[in-house]
Structure 1
């Protein structure tokens, strides 16, 4: 059986790094992560530059 949780994550580097951070943080509480679905991308802008890359994602994992 699989379960899905929705998470928010951000990075100062990239959206890919934000996704990796989402997986790393989720893996502290759940095991058997199977996939990540990036639902939304967002960026915070200051002084005409992107300062934060944000994602809203769904992480699927295997129940024990």
Structure 2
């Protein structure tokens, strides 16, 4: 973790989360999956929402999100 006198650097990655349940679940899935390979996740920005429709019913909710995490320093 950065000390008080060291600058903090953050990185942003773009992901698409999906869910058969809801937009909220699609967003949560994207963050959950990101956290499996990225440490120090600090925020999520929802860029866009869309869905897949079959037979007049939404069958998949999708969220394009930007996940922000703090870059760790060695030493």
TM beyond 0.5: yes
Taking the aligned partners of 2:17 and 2:37, their CA distance within structure 1 comes to: 15
Structure scoring higher RCO (CA < 8 A, sep ≥ 6) equals: 1
Partner residue in 2 for 1:14: 22
Taking the aligned partners of 1:22 and 1:62, their CA distance within structure 2 comes to: 17
1:42 is the counterpart of 2:46 = no
Number of equivalences? 64
| Structure holding more strand per residue | 1
Partner residue in 2 for 1:31: 39
Partner residue in 1 for 2:64: 56
TM-score (ref. length: structure 1): 0.97
Partner residue in 2 for 1:5: 13
Larger Rg: 2
Q: Structure 1: 5+ residue runs without aligned partners?
A: none
Taking the aligned partners of 1:57 and 1:23, their CA distance within structure 2 comes to: 9
Runs of 4+ in 1 over 2 A off after TM superposition: none
TM-score (ref. length: structure 2): 0.83
